[in-house]
Each structure stands twice: as structure tokens, then as C-alpha cells.
Amino acid sequence: MKTTEIRDLIDFISKSGLNEVNIETKELKLHVKREPDQKVFKSTSVVAPAATTPVVAPPPVASQPQPQTSAPKVERAETSGKKTVEIKSPMIGTFYRSSSPDNPPFVSVGDKISKGQTVCIIEAMKLFNEIEAEVSGTIVKVMAENATPVEYDQVLFVVEPE
């Protein structure tokens, strides 16, 4: 990576709301962390141009018309009255439930998750950021539709902690 590309990437990260990003290619390891006293969202970014770097295949572009047989569905399950925790989007971008259209979702309602487990991907400016669970528990609700835009701090999942 050229110095100007690294500066552009750091500028993007500072504007995205991320507190920490790790990028690793064959030629470069980059770790950017800011505001250490703030809540940190763990994200792994993959830069697409590197030929030897494994790249998460992007799902179909949301702007292309796609046949839809029914109204969009958001998975929901009833809570049992227990306290829940929300997993929120650390940035603005496009929400994807799986790494490619052919793969199953990372998590679904009723799945047990553990802290640090990847629950979704958010794409922002061709960077695919794996969003990790901050708590162990059970997915109670999926609040965002696959391949749709999400806002900063938007609730993506509701989790019933263990």
C-alpha cells in the first residue's frame, strides 16, 4: 500500500465511527485504534485489490432489481421476559447476514453465540467489516434485512445473554 492509500484509509476509518481496525495483507499489517476509553467494536477489514488476500465475496448489489416473492422478512422470536442485549451497527454501510449469497447466515434466531463470534458483515466503501458479538447468549431477534443499508448505532440483533 502506498502512503497516500494508508492516509485515505485512516481518514475513512476516522469518519466511519470505528474505534479499531486490523488490516493484514501479504505485504502489510495495519492496526488502527482510537479513543481507547470508548466502547470498541471489533472489526476485520479486507481490502479488495490485493490479489493474494482472501476476499469476502460481495453479495449481489442492492441497487440491482431482484425478484422478490414476498415482503421482506425480519426474523423475530418472542423474548421470555429476560433481559436482552442489543448488537448495534458500528458504522453506516450495507448489512449482510452471510459472507456470500450461497452461504448460510452467520447466525439465525435461536442460535447460541459466543463473545467474539462473527454475526454479520457490514460493507462500507468496498471494505467488508466482520461484526463480532460482544456477549455470549442466544439470538432472539434479527432486526435488519439482508443486503439493506444500516445506520450507525442501528440495532442489528437482540441477544439474550447467558
Domain regions of the chain by residue span? 3-33, 85-161
pLDDT per residue of the chain (162 residues) written in tens, 0 to 9: 667 777 777 777 766 766 677 777 777 677 776 654 444 444 444 444 444 444 455 555 444 444 333 333 334 444 456 799 999 999 999 999 999 999 999 999 999 999 999 999 999 988 999 999 999 999 999 999 999 999 999 999 999 998
Backbone φ and ψ for 75, nearest 5 degrees, come out as: -70, 135
What is the pTM assigned to this prediction?
0.52
Any long-range contacts for 110-116 (C-beta under 8 Å, 24+ apart)?
110/77, 110/138, 110/139, 111/138, 111/139, 112/136, 112/137, 112/138, 113/137, 113/138, 113/139, 113/159, 116/42
Under CATH, to which class is 85-161 assigned?
mainly beta
